[in-house]
Structure 1
Amino acid sequence: MQIIIGTTNKAKTKAVETICRPYYPDASFVNKEVDSFVSAQPLSNEETRQGAINRAKQLIGQGDTLFGIGLEGGVQEIDGALYMCNWGALVTNSGEVFTAMGAGIPLPDEIAEKLRAGAELGPVMDVYTNRKGIRHAEGAIGVFTDGLITRSMMFEHIMSLLIGQYELSKKLL
């Protein structure tokens, strides 16, 4: 049985495996890079959620797949500030779609200005921190929470919400 993850991002993959392994110990985890069919930098909760759903839907119906997982990071504007927003989707082979959202904190104005001008958060964070691959490690959430919450931890929370919904739906059948 396979759990297919619609990304090759290390932080997202770690989150899926950390949460799913205890529930599905015999599952193999397969990464597949798929398009979100939304902006490279989603600019709303709705667009970010749709990106996660789009990723997950492309993964179903491929062999012995239990479900597909799509995880998407974006930003949304609230009262003039840009907040990080994060969404996940779990899609089953029968077409059921489960979604969940995660943590969000405001971004500093200097980061928000670059995103409003069309930049993507990951590369902006690499410049801001003078490091490469922030999105595969602690992510912006890790930088702006002083490491208390990492990108993987944030997506683990989303994965827990998704798996909880999925497992409950099986009990209700």
Structure 2
Amino acid sequence: MSSKKVVVASANPVKVQAALAGLQRMFPHDQFEAVPLEVPSGVADQPMTDQETLQGALNRVENAFTQRPEADFWIGLEGGVEQVHHELASFAWVVVKAGTTWGKARSGTFFLPQKVADLVNQGVELGPANDQIFSQVNSKQKGGAIGILSHGALGRKELYEQAVVLALVPFQNPELY
């Protein structure tokens, strides 16, 4: 088994675990060593559009690459929200870089309850808004909004892991990308 160094552009353990789990699913014969690295996203703490969220993930990868260019993979995960038909949708973008190849994917989307959406629309980041409404502590480093709302049937790690797998498709098919 070869061992590959992965710079995950976050110190959030949920994001680090999702990145490693997605890589392991796509490359089961490799071993991966995560290097969590807190880097700026260059966007608001709570991205409010699809484009801003994608830009945050792209910026995280670029900033991680600049700080730690010796890795095999760089992964940026950025959670965001966007107004859709008078409701606030929640999702994440994942961006992966290795060599000259880039992969991008968006997670599944779900809608936030109105009480949470109201706080987010007032400028409160989604994690603290969830903590306030659901009497949680640091939920964004646990199951996140989806974990709370699905009563544990789906957690933030699993939601992000699937997007990591999707973002790795170009690396499994280099002749096509």
TM-score normalised by structure 2 residue count? 0.90
Residue 92 of structure 2 aligns with an amino acid whose one-letter code is N
What is the one-letter code of the residue matched to 2:5? Q
Taking the aligned partners of 1:166 and 1:59, their CA distance within structure 2 comes to 19
Structure 1 stretch displaced more, 2-11 or 128-137: 128-137
Mean alpha-carbon deviation: is it higher for 17-26 or for 28-37?
17-26
1:1-173 maps to which residues of 2 (within 5 A)? 1-21=4-24, 23=27, 25-60=30-65, 62-94=68-100, 96-169=101-174, 171-172=175-176
Q: Deviations over 1:115-145 (max 9, x none)?
A: 1111100111111221211101110011112
Is the Cα contact below 8 Å between 2:20 and 2:32 reproduced in 1?
no
**Paired residue type of 2:97:** V
Instruction: Give the gaps of 5 or more residues in structure 1.
Output: none
**What is the DSSP-based 3-state SS (H/G/I as helix, E as strand, rest coil) of the residue aligned with 2:11?**
coil
Q: Any idea what SS the aligned residue of 2:118 has?
A: helix
Residue ranges of structure 2 left out of the alignment (5+ in a row)? none
In structure 2, the CA distance between the partners of 1:30 and 1:77, relative to structure 1 (3 Å rule), is: same
Task: Quote the sequence identity (%).
Answer: 27
TM-score normalised by the chain length of structure 1? 0.92
Letter in 1 for 2:135: N
Instruction: Report how many residues are paired.
Output: 171
**CA root-mean-square deviation:** 1.6
Q: Is the 8 A contact 2:19 2:161 kept in 1?
A: yes
SS at match of 1:58: helix
